[in-house]
Structure 1
Amino acid sequence: MKLDLAEPLNRLVGSKYLSAKSSGSLVFSPTELTIIYSRSGIPVISSSTTTSMLLDLIPVQFQLRYCPALSKKPGASKPESGASQPKSKPDPFENPKGLLVTRLPDQSHGTHNLVLNKYPVIPRHSILSTIEFKKQTDFLEDQDLEVTYSCLQLWEAESTDEVMSRLFAFFNSGEHSGASQNRRHLQILPVRDMMGPESQKPEWKPLIDLLMTEPLPDQPSILRNPLLPFCHYAMRIPPSPGAGILNQIYQCLYDRASSSLQSWNEECSPEQTALNSYAGEASISYNLAMTTQAMAICPRRSETAVVPTANGEGSVAVNGTILAGTLMVKEKSEWDAIRQGQVVIDEVLAEIGIPQSSYSGRPSSTRL
């Protein structure tokens, strides 16, 4: 899909971000950032002697952000299952005054608005929302995926920095996913801005890049990292895919995630899990992530995980940024407990998703 833009996309987003921040249309909240380590790892072969090769594990690095300002953010409405319109508060994407970057794919035939996040914790955080009201809990459609991929591709093409110029897109769907608005929207973050201070940039890379280490035995087109503590499924995206290919990948991943979650809950038989129509409301909560290289999905069974703290008990809410390897807390007691190692990130991930040690998932009905 060709996007008809008056200026390069990264310049449009950057200039609008600066003007919206200056005018007060958006409120940026800085965060403290640290790196924490999973007990899981990425397997690598290392030669420790001249005669033997040993398998080592490189610990997976996660970003932990602390943002107390977000505890004062106005409460957002939750998507209501079966609701055709937002009910509890105005729709922020219906008329995004001061935050609209552009219509896509073009001004006269737009299907999506590219708008800035009103309360970002990462600079240049933008959102692709449907111009026509569509539900966040419904299946994604061809245009959602194609416009999103086109943004990712164009942003990279406009930059000369191959490593730092990437975008990470994510989608939260369902009551356990971290979604907060009813209108369908995908969110986009520049990887450069996610990396934080210069001193930490060499250490961290988006988790989605580390997911594709091993094919599923019964469905080798789907990849995962079996050492991570939560079930996830990923597929590589071929160069210049059309909307049909993107949707086929999405449906294949959704099938697998749906089968995993339904089997965990023991709600239905294998025959029932093969009946997804990919229209209307999805039957599970999940997070989807996309780069130009890959698409990944994580089935969800809880929005939050309990965090034991010095003051008793706190919690950490997780959305689709977990597939980038980042999560955030608002309370200092939670920040201290996690960064000081009193809470293990593996336990948090297993609680909000499906523990990978317990279940690997049934075969999907969709094959690529």
Structure 2
Amino acid sequence: MDKKSLCLVEKLKLVTEKALEKKALHPILTTYQILKQDHIPFLIRIVENLERKDNEKKKQKKSQTSFNPFLPYDRDLFVDNISDSHVAILNKFNVFDHHLLIVTREFEEQESALNLADFSALWTVLSEINGLGFYNSGKLSGASQPHKHLQLVPYPLAQEIETIPINDLVLSYRNTQEIITLKEFPFLHSIVFFDSQQSSQVLSQITLKYYHQLLAQLNINIEENKPSQNYNLLITKDWMMIIPRTQEKYQSISINSLGFAGAFLVKNSEQLNLIKESNLLKILAKVGVKIVDN
């Protein structure tokens, strides 16, 4: 069948299959555990072997100090042209199946503010693939590449979790029409809900408006197209949340947007034990901005 006639989900599956055959895609093998805390079924994935990814990164640094894997991107990882400004490619080192990167065609800095073209590309993908969209705005938020890219992981993240770990909790507040914070979260954040019945084009414009409102609510200013603080952004078909960041790691554990969705990645048994001995919401507060109780 001609790839052009396939829908995005079909293209994603086809490209994944071929990329695995060509060894262009290098999935990070993990096992996982569900750790229920504070009524949230946190998903803890344990890496079996990070050596291949680490070796690849070392090679990239050695061969080219300013290496950019997105310019040009690996054609074997290319999934689709999303718009005039963005393409969708596979995440080369994926933990979750069919993990997509939504990348700007021309170089833009990862720390630059998101714009209408970014949200239009994301909603184009979300309209076809039900999943979690997210953005790591800079190094403190877990961004590993300087070239602007949003990301999407399709549901489910694990067999036992229908969507993402925090989704049921967030949706329990859905009846409100204003910007809200959840009393359950001990870190600074803001959430707003969408009417997902609207078109992708309308949702893109609404999302851009909400994005600036949430940043303002969190006292994150945009100067010369750069937010004054790194943050994580989570977006589903139903809601969007922004979380300001103050540090990249909790001890040795790196945390990006997926951590605030309730999904942690640990590299070894020591990190797993640390996770099990800790309150996960308090870990998130330590890398975000802790809300001080009055």
Same fold (TM over 0.5): yes
Query: Are 2:179 and 2:192, in contact at CA under 8 Å, matched by a contact in 1?
Result: yes
Query: What is the letter of the counterpart of residue 120 of structure 2?
Result: E
Question: Once superposed, which parts of structure 1, at least 4 consecutive aligned residues long, lie more than 6 Å away?
Answer: none
Q: Percent identity?
A: 25
Query: Are 2:82 and 2:124, in contact at CA under 8 Å, matched by a contact in 1?
Result: no
Q: Which structure would you say has the larger Rg?
A: 1
1:115 aligns with 2:89: yes
Match of 1:33 in 2: 32
Query: Are 1:102 and 1:113, in contact at CA under 8 Å, matched by a contact in 2?
Result: yes
SS state at 2:180 partner: strand
Query: What is the letter of the counterpart of residue 92 of structure 1?
Result: P
- What's the CA shift for 1:76? 5.4
- The two structures have a TM-score, normalised by structure 1, of 0.70
Query: What is the letter of the counterpart of residue 230 of structure 2?
Result: S
Change (3 A) 1:71 1:348: farther
Return the alpha-carbon distance in structure 2 between the equivalents of residues 305 and 296 of structure 1: 21
Match of 1:345 in 2: 280
1:322 aligns with 2:267: no
SS state at 2:247 partner: coil
Query: Are 1:206 and 1:323, in contact at CA under 8 Å, matched by a contact in 2?
Result: no
Deviations 1:270-297, CA, capped at 9 Å, x for gaps? xxx6xx4575111101000111111111
SS state at 1:228 partner: coil
Return the alpha-carbon distance in structure 2 between the equivalents of residues 234 and 255 of structure 1: 12
Larger helix percent: 2
- What's the CA shift for 1:222? 0.7
- Pick from 164, 168, 186: which aligns with 1:229? 186
Deviations 1:153-191, CA, capped at 9 Å, x for gaps? 122xxxxxxxxxx21110001221000101100011011
1:292 aligns with 2:237: yes
Query: Are 2:232 and 2:245, in contact at CA under 8 Å, matched by a contact in 1?
Result: yes
Match of 1:280 in 2: 225
- What's the CA shift for 1:245? 1.4
SS state at 1:349 partner: helix
Match of 2:44 in 1: 64
Q: Let me know the Cα RMSD of the aligned residues.
A: 2.4
Return the alpha-carbon distance in structure 2 between the equivalents of residues 118 and 205 of structure 1: 22
Pairing 1:205-220 to 2, within 5 Å after superposition: 205-211=164-170, 213=172
Pairing 1:329-368 to 2, within 5 Å after superposition: 329-338=266-275, 341-358=276-293
User: Which runs of 5 or more residues in structure 2 are unaligned?
Assistant: 59-63
- What's the CA shift for 1:25? 0.3
1:14 aligns with 2:33: no
- Pick from 135, 144, 164: which aligns with 2:109? 135
Query: Are 2:87 and 2:105, in contact at CA under 8 Å, matched by a contact in 1?
Result: yes
SS state at 2:50 partner: helix
Match of 2:125 in 1: 151
Change (3 A) 1:24 1:72: closer
Once the two structures are overlaid, the 10-residue window that deviates more, 235-244 or 344-353, is 235-244
Deviations 1:114-156, CA, capped at 9 Å, x for gaps? 000110011101100000111100000101011101210122x
Return the alpha-carbon distance in structure 2 between the equivalents of residues 6 and 114 of structure 1: 17
Deviations 1:25-84, CA, capped at 9 Å, x for gaps? 01112211111133x3xxxxxxxxxxxxxxxxxx1121111114225423759xxxxxxx
Return the alpha-carbon distance in structure 2 between the equivalents of residues 131 and 209 of structure 1: 35
Return the alpha-carbon distance in structure 1 between the equivalents of residues 293 and 150 of structure 2: 30
Deviations 1:225-264, CA, capped at 9 Å, x for gaps? 211222221111223234321100111111223x2xxxxx
Return the alpha-carbon distance in structure 2 between the equivalents of residues 129 and 249 of structure 1: 22
- The two structures have a TM-score, normalised by structure 2, of 0.87
Deviations 1:297-339, CA, capped at 9 Å, x for gaps? 1111111012xxxxxxxx211001123210111122111332x
Deviations 1:200-236, CA, capped at 9 Å, x for gaps? 246x744244235559xxx961122211222221111
Match of 2:213 in 1: 252
Return the alpha-carbon distance in structure 1 between the equivalents of residues 122 and 115 of structure 2: 11
Change (3 A) 1:358 1:93: farther
- Pick from 53, 70, 77: which aligns with 1:99? 77
Return the alpha-carbon distance in structure 1 between the equivalents of residues 128 and 261 of structure 2: 20
Query: Are 2:113 and 2:222, in contact at CA under 8 Å, matched by a contact in 1?
Result: no
Change (3 A) 1:358 1:138: farther
SS state at 2:151 partner: strand
1:170 aligns with 2:119: no
Return the alpha-carbon distance in structure 1 between the equivalents of residues 177 and 155 of structure 2: 28
Count of residue pairs brought into register by the alignment? 279
User: Which runs of 5 or more residues in structure 1 are unaligned?
Assistant: 41-58, 78-86, 156-165, 260-272, 307-314, 360-368
